[in-house]
Amino acid sequence: MTELASRLDDVAQRFDAAVDRANDEQALESVRVAYLGRNGEVTTVRRAIGTLAHNERPAAGKLINDAVAAMERRLQAAYEELESRSFDAELATSIDVTFPSIRRPAGSIHPVRRIIEESCAYFVRHGFAVVIGAEVEPDYYNFDALNIPNDHPAREGFDSFWISDTLLLRPHTSPMQIRTMQEHRPPIAIVAPGKCFRRDAVDARHLFQFHQVEGLLVAEGIHFAHLKGMLTGLCRELFGEQQNVRFRPSYFPFTEPSAEVDTTCPKCKGAGTLKSSPMGCNMCGGSGWIELGGAGMVHPNVLREVGYDPDRYSGWAFGFGVERLGLARYEVDDIRRFTKSDPGFLAQLS
């Protein structure tokens, strides 16, 4: 009996060592067959029971059964361990579809485009059509037809990029007034957004390439109050409900009377001062107003040029700088930011 017990002990120790060495299922199965199989080592020990005295056999049988149960438990644990290790390895090389994804940076609509779209949408809601014009125009459309003859000093205000003696990159969107009126009879209600080009020195408020939104309404009985109403509405659309609009007398050869259009500074809300800057609001320079562009009643000479009778028809027009609208709307300190495509800046405004 003692000898059987020590043989069993020896078998169990070698079994443990063999299980430790087995690093895949096939190797574990070989260990199982070698020790617990029909002709395995435990069977050989079990056969030795027959050599024991009758009264020793039950105890020997129990000893062997207990050892087999322990070995089977050990084997089971080893199988489970192998399984979980191979699952971990599989996970490490496979895609976990439940894992939260990495956020890909999404692009956004550029603020200049957004302002153009919102401005156009406002006018379209009021029955206006959107028209897009060429960026290269003859001087006739840029100047002559707009009541700015060749020797007119106002041409100097539009310091332009000339392509030939008569062709230039348009310095404003106003040629679209002429093109539209030549093509259509009144009533006319259009809005014309687009790029403009001027040989201006670039600084915090000026670009050599910028955008304007032009508007034109010509019909019978149109007067200045219509212009004020529409532009006040546009400013409220872009800047919020409390926004006011101011018309300062000004001069454009193609409108009479003419005005420069200001809106309440969105930063200081018209106060001209800021708690954070007692020297005065740095957005509007302390005036409480931001200039957006020019406007006025279409000059009779312009109406005549396109064959409209100025005694019957009247109209208003305006041209706003889109980047200037952006400066005011987003409280941006420098107009050049709109041209830099800096994702950090654009994300802030998206």
**Residue 261: CB minimum distance to ligand FA5, A:** 8
Q: DSSP H helical segments within the chain, as ranges?
A: 2-21, 25-36, 41-47, 57-93, 111-125, 139-142, 175-183, 224-239, 300-305, 322-330, 343-349
The conformation of residue 132, written as its DSSP 8-state character, comes to -
By CB under 6 A, residue 139 contacts ligand FA5: no
Distance CA 40, CA 182 (A): 106
H helix or E strand, kind and range, residue 345: helix 343-349
Decide if 195 contacts 209 (C-beta within 8 A): yes
Distance CA 295, CA 258 (A): 6
Please tell me the count of residues contacting ligand FA5 according to CB under 6 A: 23
Please report, as residue ranges, which positions from 5 to 44 form the binding site for ligand FA5 (by CB under 6 A).
none
Distances (CA, A) of 218 to 178, 243, 332: 12, 26, 35
| Between 32 and 172, CB nearer to ligand FA5 | 172
By CB under 6 A, residue 263 contacts ligand FA5: no
Number of residues that this document lists for the chain: 350
Tokens coding 173: 């969107």
**Residue 307: CB minimum distance to ligand FA5, A:** 20
**Residue 99: CB minimum distance to ligand FA5, A:** 48
**Given candidates 323, 329, 332, 337, which one binds ligand FA5 under the rule CB under 6 A?**
323
Distance CA 235, CA 256 (A): 22
By CB under 6 A, residue 319 contacts ligand FA5: yes
| Between 28 and 335, CB nearer to ligand FA5 | 335
Which region among 35-43, 180-188, 289-297, 303-311 touches ligand FA5 (by CB under 6 A)? 289-297
Distance CA 112, CA 194 (A): 11
User: Side-chain half-sphere of 232: how many Cα atoms within 13 Å?
Assistant: 12
Residue type, 290: I
Which region among 42-50, 95-103, 225-233, 316-324 touches ligand FA5 (by CB under 6 A)? 316-324
By CB under 6 A, residue 321 contacts ligand FA5: yes
| Between 111 and 321, CB nearer to ligand FA5 | 321
By CB under 6 A, residue 198 contacts ligand FA5: yes
By CB under 6 A, residue 60 contacts ligand FA5: no
Which region among 95-103, 204-212, 279-287, 337-345 touches ligand FA5 (by CB under 6 A)? 204-212
Decide if 22 contacts 78 (C-beta within 8 A): yes
Decide if 175 contacts 194 (C-beta within 8 A): no
By CB under 6 A, residue 290 contacts ligand FA5: no
**Given candidates 111, 294, 315, 326, which one binds ligand FA5 under the rule CB under 6 A?**
294
**Residue 203: CB minimum distance to ligand FA5, A:** 9
Per DSSP bridges, beta strands 129-130 and 188-197 are parallel
| Between 19 and 112, CB nearer to ligand FA5 | 112
**Given candidates 175, 193, 293, 315, which one binds ligand FA5 under the rule CB under 6 A?**
293
By CB under 6 A, residue 207 contacts ligand FA5: yes
Closest CA to 141 of 43, 30, 254: 254
**Residue 201: CB minimum distance to ligand FA5, A:** 9
Q: Which residues would be at the binding site for ligand FA5 (CB under 6 A)?
A: 172, 174, 198, 200, 206-207, 210, 212, 214, 252, 255, 291-296, 317-319, 321, 323-324
